[in-house]
Amino acid sequence: GLGGFTSRWRAMLMAFRRDESPYTGFGCALREIDPGAEYEVTLSAGYEPSGPQRMRGEQLQSPRLEIDEHPDSLVVEYKHLGA
C-alpha cells in the first residue's frame, strides 16, 4: 500500500489488445484508489490523448476499458488531486 502517503501522486495503466483477440473490452480493478478522492484522468488510444477529465475515486476503482481496434493499446493516466 501507500502506507499513509496522502500527497498528490500519479500513476498509469497500459492495456493491450492482441491481434487475434475477439474481446473489445474488459473490466479491471485498480488498487490504492481512494474512493472519496478526486482524480484527473487522461485516456490515450493509440497516440491521441483525450482531454483530461475529473473523476471520483469510486468511479476510477473499477473502470471498463474498451479497445476497438486490434492490435491496439490504451493508456490510462491518473493523478490524485486530493479529497
Average pLDDT over residues 58-79: 94
Where residue 83 falls among pLDDT bands split at 50, 70, 90? confident
Average pLDDT over residues 48-68: 93
- pLDDT given for residue 48 in this prediction: 81
Average pLDDT over residues 39-67: 92
- The angle at the Cα of 36, spanning 10 to 79, to the nearest 5 degrees, equals 15
* pLDDT per position as a tens digit, 19-45: 999 999 999 999 999 999 999 999 998
- pLDDT given for residue 6 in this prediction: 53
Burial level of 22, CB count in 10 A (0-12/13-18/19+)?
exposed
Query: Mean pLDDT score of the chain, rounded to an integer?
Result: 89
